Amino acid sequence: GESVGLHLPTLSVQEGDNSIINCAYSNSASDYFIWYKQESGKGPQFIIDIRSNMDKRQGQRVTVLLNKTVKHLSLQIAATQPGDSAVYFCAENNSGGGADGLTFGKGTHLIIQP
C-alpha cells in the first residue's frame, strides 16, 4: 500500500484566507519530503521541500511543517489566491533506501472560493 496519505480529499477556502493541507506518512525512514501542486491537465509542479532534520521551512506564501514524532506533514498557504486552486500532493523519499522514486500521497483538491 501507499506509505504516504492525505487526510482530506477536498478543501474549500475563501480567497484571502489561509489554508492548511495535511499529510500523514508511515515510513519512518523517509528523510525528504516535497509538496507538489498539480493544476488540471498539467504535470506536478514543485512547491517546497523539507528534510527530516528540519521541522519548518518557509517559502513565498507557503510554509511546510514536519512533525516526525507523529509522522505528519502540512502545507500552509497564506492569503490564498484563485491561482492556488489545484490538487496538492505530498511526496516522500528515502535517500537511504537506494534507487527509489518519490512516493506520492493521494492528493487534496484545494478550491478557492471568491
Q: Which is nearer to another protein, 41 or 83 (CB)?
A: 41
3-state secondary structure the chain: CCCEEECCCEEEEECCCCEEEEEEECCCCCCEEEEEEECCCCCCEEEEEEECCCCEEECCCEEEEEECCCCEEEEEECCCCHHHCEEEEEEEECHHHCCCCCEECCCEEEEEEC
Q: Which is nearer to another protein, 41 or 114 (CB)?
A: 41
Q: How far is the CB of 67 from another protein (least distance, A)?
A: 19
- Among positions 61-100, residues that touch another protein (CB under 8 A) are 89, 93-100
16 CB-side CA count, 13 A: 1
Q: How far is the CB of 21 from another protein (least distance, A)?
A: 14
From residue 3 to residue 42, the character string flagging contacts with another protein as x (rule: CB under 8 A) and all else as - is ----------------------------xx-x-x----xx
104 touches another protein by CB under 8 A: yes
Q: Which is nearer to another protein, 80 or 107 (CB)?
A: 107
Backbone angles phi, psi at 83, to 5 degrees: -70, -10
The contact set with another protein (CB under 8 A) reads 2, 31-32, 34, 36, 41-46, 49, 51, 89, 93-107
